[in-house]
Amino acid sequence: MFPTPDRSEAAEYYFTYITQVPAGDIRDILRAQLPETRALLDGIGEGQSHHRYAPGKWTIREVLGHINDTERLFVFRAFWFARGFTEALPSFDQHVAIAHAGADERSWPSLIEEFVAVRAATLTFFDHLAGEAWSARGVASGNPFTVRALAFMTAGHATHHLRIVREKYLA
């Protein structure tokens, strides 16, 4: 029901995320990420969550805040297009968002709880999306997207950043 999006469904850059998603029902993939991600995050202590693997890089907290923000953004775009809105959506500058998010001032458990809540909302949205809405199209950041591509991007974006956490922050 949910084949991997083709190259007409998102700008080439976003296939960095889409290609990291295995074949299958994207809702099941997003659902399976929740306990896997929770287990990884629960294994990171409060102090360790402030770690940067190099000067100028985000802390683990900022990485998780970025995952949360971007999931909200991708799902909002999916909502916008699925509900028939045709106006193009603006760009998202992740550096501006990080600068104003305050992730390093929050507790680590609160950021984990936010991930769980955001993912629950994501799943509720995609679980109840009408069949034809998956192929709805729109423009954001000057690029074309389908709702289906945005769902795959949501899963792939989390996979991408959690792999970086494992390989660069926790190695």
Q: What is the pLDDT of residues 58-86, one digit of tens each?
A: 999 999 999 999 999 999 999 999 999 99
User: Rounded mean pLDDT of 127-154?
Assistant: 97
Dihedral angle, C-alpha 129, 116, 13, 96, nearest 10 °: 120
CA distance 163 to 142: 28
Which of 26, 29, 109, 20 is closest to 64 using CA atoms? 109
The phi, psi pair for 84, rounded to 5°, reads: 90, 5
CA 75 to chain centre: 8
Residue 10: per-residue pLDDT: 98
Model confidence at 2: pLDDT above 90:
no
37 within 8 A of 158, measured Cβ to Cβ? yes
**Residue 32, pLDDT above cutoff 90:** yes
Predicted TM-score of the model (pTM): 0.97
- For all residues of the chain together, what is the average pLDDT? 97
Name the token pair of 116.
Answer: 């769980």
Render pLDDT for 139-150 as a digit per residue (tens, 0 to 9).
999 999 999 999
Tens-digit pLDDT profile for residues 9-28: 999 999 999 999 998 999 99
pLDDT at 1 over 90: no
Q: Where are the alpha helices (DSSP H) in 57-107?
A: 60-82, 94-101
Rg (CA), the chain: 16
Q: 156-171 pLDDT, tens per residue?
A: 999 999 999 999 999 9
CATH topology for 12-169 is: Four Helix Bundle (Hemerythrin (Met), subunit A) (1.20.120)
Domain ranges across the chain: 12-169
